[in-house]
Structure 1
């Protein structure tokens, strides 16, 4: 590969349930000569207590992204035109910032994201487990969602309305690229 021509690295960020994985997959399908990495496929070390992490000032560098970074570095040596990252932290993690060429934040309304997350994560759960998850969200978890809206969203190069269809979101991203 020509050293002067590096792949364009596109980070897709959003709150949990915001559509990162879906949009990453569909964007990867539409972009020529591309590869995708998915954050949730890695067992990454991060803060054990997210609320404590928020109270300490939400330093994204507390997450050890070494396996994710290593795989990205390997992909950057291959002849891809694009690398699409399902990566919730956008530019906010020091180990990833310099690799990202373009960051997208999918701005999905909290109710839609929470409904998607509940459907995705609790489809085989009991009513009690679902109720407990809802109680946790309303008492503490929502803070994590709001934190991303105040730190990740403003750092993105492009913000897209996450209540639109996946096809529309991908089309809007492609127009920006």
Structure 2
């Protein structure tokens, strides 16, 4: 990138367990002079009841993303080429969308995403905890995943098959970056 130009901001979205963090990390490692922001490293104020939030139109602006916005604004002043955001909202949050240059949706089948999430989050849990989480997914969580597929996926610039190997996904995203950069 040319000196003095703001970094290209790339948002990586997916359902929980869809590969956001893994792809963001590998993409950041592949890109030269880049930094990464992880959504899960922040404690955001958001809707108390996700199902109610979905039923009332899923207004992404109801999430207070001030801590992430503050860090993003600082990074935008640094002499970077790229900022990679592990960020599930794509362009749907009005305060962040103006800073994002393009979004990627990692389209991972829900069964694979769920298996990854259980493997990741419940390594040392009891069977009862896993079963409670599965019941929560069936009764409520799945609706949140479907909300993302209905609103975030079509709101993204590119959609990549989440069943592909990590290196292939990163390669596809890298090729897209070369085209727009």
Q: Using structure 2 for the length normalisation, give the TM-score.
A: 0.95
Between the aligned partners of 2:143 and 2:57, the Cα distance in structure 1 is 12
1:15 aligns with: 15
1:84 aligned residue:
84
Unaligned runs of at least 5 residues, structure 1: none
Equivalent position SS for 1:64: coil
Number of aligned residue pairs: give it: 176
Are residue 148 (structure 1) and residue 148 (structure 2) matched? yes
Question: Is 1:105 aligned with 2:105?
Answer: yes
* SS, match of residue 132 in structure 1: helix
Alignment of 1:6-155 (within 5 A): 6-155=6-155
**C-alpha distance in 2, partners of 1:2/1:108?**
37
* Distance of 1:67 and 1:134 partners within structure 2: 31
TM-score, length basis structure 1: 0.97
Over the residues paired in the alignment, what is the CA RMSD in angstroms? 1.0
Gapped regions of structure 2 (runs ≥ 5)? none
Deviations 1:64-115 (CA, angstroms, capped at 9, x unpaired): 0000000000000000000000000010001100000010000000000001
Q: In the TM superposition, what whole-angstrom CA distance separates every residue of 1:121-150 from its partner, at most 9, and x where no partner exists?
A: 111111011001111111211000000000
* Distance in 2 (alpha carbons) for counterparts of 1:2 and 1:161: 34
Dislocated runs of 4+, deviation >6 Å: none
Q: Residues of 2 paired with 1:51 and 1:165: CA distance?
A: 32
